[in-house]
Amino acid sequence: MALEWVVLGYVAGAEAIMVLLLTLPGIDPLRKGLISVTRSLLKPFMSVLPFCLFLLMDIYWKYEHRPSCESDSCSPSEHLRHQKSIMKSQRNALLIASALLFYWLLYSVTGLVVKIEQLNKRVEKLKAQD
């Protein structure tokens, strides 16, 4: 079960790097190629949404079927295992939230950068006409 979390972590990291590169000032020569690469990767990265939903349902199912360890009948090792399970679920939920947030940011920033490029071309055309 750890492989899907590794894949989701890599996807969230790739999204974060692309958002960072799109928003860095001073890399105008690379921006045009980076925009085309990002736009072509938005559709494959869309598969993150149902994947995150599946993983969120997995976390919920594990939460509902987790043995409770609230009484004094639990041994210290069972109590520790219960706490570790809760911490893993919280970590995984945070990873899901970050992957979804970075996808949304990447989608929004890419759209804004494309609009800025189009507006810059219009301004250049208008300056050339004058």
Question: Per-residue pLDDT tens for 93-123?
Answer: 999 999 999 999 999 999 999 999 999 999 9
Calculate the dihedral angle through the C-alpha atoms of 94, 96, 100, 105, rounding to the nearest 10 degrees: 40
Nearest to 117 by CA among 41, 26, 40, 28: 28
pTM over 0.85: no
What stretch of H or E contains 126? helix 76-129
Region 41-46: mean pLDDT is 89
Encoding tokens for residue 126?
């208008």
What stretch of H or E contains 67? none
Query: By percentage, how much of the chain surpasses pLDDT 90?
Result: 52
pLDDT at 70 over 90: no
Asked if 91 contacts 4 with a C-beta cutoff of 8 angstroms, the reply is no
Distance CA 88, CA 8 (A): 15
What stretch of H or E contains 66? none
